[in-house]
Amino acid sequence: MQASHVARNRTETAYEITAIESDEHLLRIDWDDGHRSEFHMVWLRDNCSCEECGDHSGGHRFFELGMLPDSYSNEANLVDGMVQIKWLEGHHVTKFDPAWLRAHCYADNERRKRRHHPITWDASITGNVPEVDYPKAREDDAELLKLYDSVRTHGICLLRNVPAEVSATEELASLLSYVRETHYGRVFEIISTPNPVVIANAPVPLRPHTDENFREPPPGIMIFHSIRASEDGGGASVMTDGFKLAEDFKKMYPKQYELLTRAPIPHRRFTDGVGLRAEAPVISLDYFGNISEFRLNDRTMGPIDLPGDMVEPVYDALAKLFELSYDSKYHMEHLLMDGEALVFDNARVLHARNGFNGNRHVRLTHVGSDEFYSRWRLLRSSLQGDINLI
């Protein structure tokens, strides 16, 4: 039986195919914008999404890599607007939607275009942090998408008009994703107390840090929900873009930057009933060398465990980076008023707090990044037809 099927998830494209040629190794496609794609036959055969081979876009495949043939067809043609390849095995035929092919072209420039391009910021963003009206986001998917896109692009979003009620914290979190429960429970209360066990509960200033690097993964998307702001006007949240910090650090101290992209830094929390430990470099990079994750917190650092010749250079690099993180030119200050919430990516944005001297109640919870970005992809896909989001 001939197995031919249109590649699933058709997408609209602005690009038209102007020419097509193939041999037993490569399929070359010229597009009307001047771009040329080259697809390897092995890749095309693997990505057949006919009913026999299964759905690679959905992650439900039947085709096994052991079934790849030793040699490939060179029979590729444009048939009724689809790229059709007849394979040598039996009568197997694959039809590719040109839009799907363009969306998955793996030429270097196309791959770079598809990657996430964060917009970095410093103190000058104060007063212009992306913000969303919470009741509207609950009603309107476009507003909700704005929230996700802001966290994705800027690492942060301010929510207004959240009820200043305890019950609203988890309601807000579940709008975004699933609450990640930890030994603190589902929500951590930050209320000033006279004899705090945890420093977050003391009305003292806190330095910029990312939270709980002793977990793997650390908390993903954090939510600070303000129930009651301190009556003395203190206790402002101080937010820092770790990606901006790392970008500048790279320019100022390239050697130290390089060191902090590869030296694993351990973090620990050993208290009653908890024995958490994880390690990762301060700065993680993706394949292209772009900053993909930032973890910094000297309060939870464990003993550094590195070859002797790295110890002093690593302390030197960390000291320089911490010094930079204290510079107010990176600090966006926002005093969370009753019924406001900050949603931010803990793998990027550092938080700190000014001192205060009053009654203050902020509730902290977090949701997993994987589920958060899963919802983001679904929203983008349903509202904007975007299927190839990384």
Distances (CA, A) of 156 to 32, 36, 224, 234, 378: 38, 37, 11, 21, 20
Question: Least Å distance between CB 300 and Fe ion?
Answer: 10
End-to-end CA distance of the chain: 36
Q: How many residues bind Fe ion (CB under 5 A)?
A: 1
Beta bridge partner(s), residue 223: 343, 365
Nearer to Fe ion, 211 or 340 (CB): 211
Prior bond of 205 cis (ω within 30°): no
Q: Which residue is nearest to Fe ion (CB)?
A: 211
Question: Least Å distance between CB 352 and Fe ion?
Answer: 8
Per-residue binding letters, 157-196, with Fe ion (x by CB under 5 A): ----------------------------------------
Helix ranges (H only) for 263-300 are none
Diameter of the chain by CA atoms?
A: 78
Point out which span in 18-26, 208-216, 226-234, 242-250 binds Fe ion (CB under 5 A).
208-216
All residues at 6 or more sequence positions from 15 whose CB lies less than 8 Å from its CB, including other chains: 31, 32, 33, 35, 98, 99, 102
Question: Least Å distance between CB 15 and Fe ion?
Answer: 46
Other CB atoms within a 10 A radius of the CB of residue 100 amount to 22
Question: Least Å distance between CB 127 and Fe ion?
Answer: 23
Nearer to Fe ion, 211 or 293 (CB): 211
Nearer to Fe ion, 253 or 322 (CB): 322
Q: Which residue has the tokens 């589902």?
A: 186
Question: Least Å distance between CB 224 and Fe ion?
Answer: 9
The tokens for 186 are 């589902």
- How far apart CA 346 and CA 285 sit, in angstroms, is 16
345 binds Fe ion (CB under 5 A): no
211 binds Fe ion (CB under 5 A): yes
- How far apart CA 176 and CA 186 sit, in angstroms, is 15
Question: Least Å distance between CB 346 and Fe ion?
Answer: 9
Nearer to Fe ion, 29 or 332 (CB): 332
Point out which span in 185-193, 209-217, 225-233, 235-243 binds Fe ion (CB under 5 A).
209-217
Distances (CA, A) of 206 to 118, 189, 223: 26, 16, 17
Point out which span in 65-73, 142-150, 203-211, 338-346 binds Fe ion (CB under 5 A).
203-211
- How far apart CA 188 and CA 191 sit, in angstroms, is 9
Nearer to Fe ion, 211 or 279 (CB): 211
Query: Minimal CA–CA distance to 346: which of 259, 235, 241?
Result: 241
Nearer to Fe ion, 29 or 364 (CB): 364
- How far apart CA 11 and CA 16 sit, in angstroms, is 13
Point out which span in 16-24, 31-39, 204-212, 273-281 binds Fe ion (CB under 5 A).
204-212
- How far apart CA 279 and CA 157 sit, in angstroms, is 28
Query: Minimal CA–CA distance to 224: which of 234, 242, 211, 233?
Result: 211
Question: Least Å distance between CB 302 and Fe ion?
Answer: 17
Point out which span in 103-111, 113-121, 210-218, 252-260 binds Fe ion (CB under 5 A).
210-218
Nearer to Fe ion, 145 or 190 (CB): 190
Point out which span in 107-115, 122-130, 175-183, 206-214 binds Fe ion (CB under 5 A).
206-214
Nearer to Fe ion, 102 or 209 (CB): 209
Nearer to Fe ion, 47 or 237 (CB): 237
Q: Which residues bind Fe ion (CB under 5 A)?
A: 211
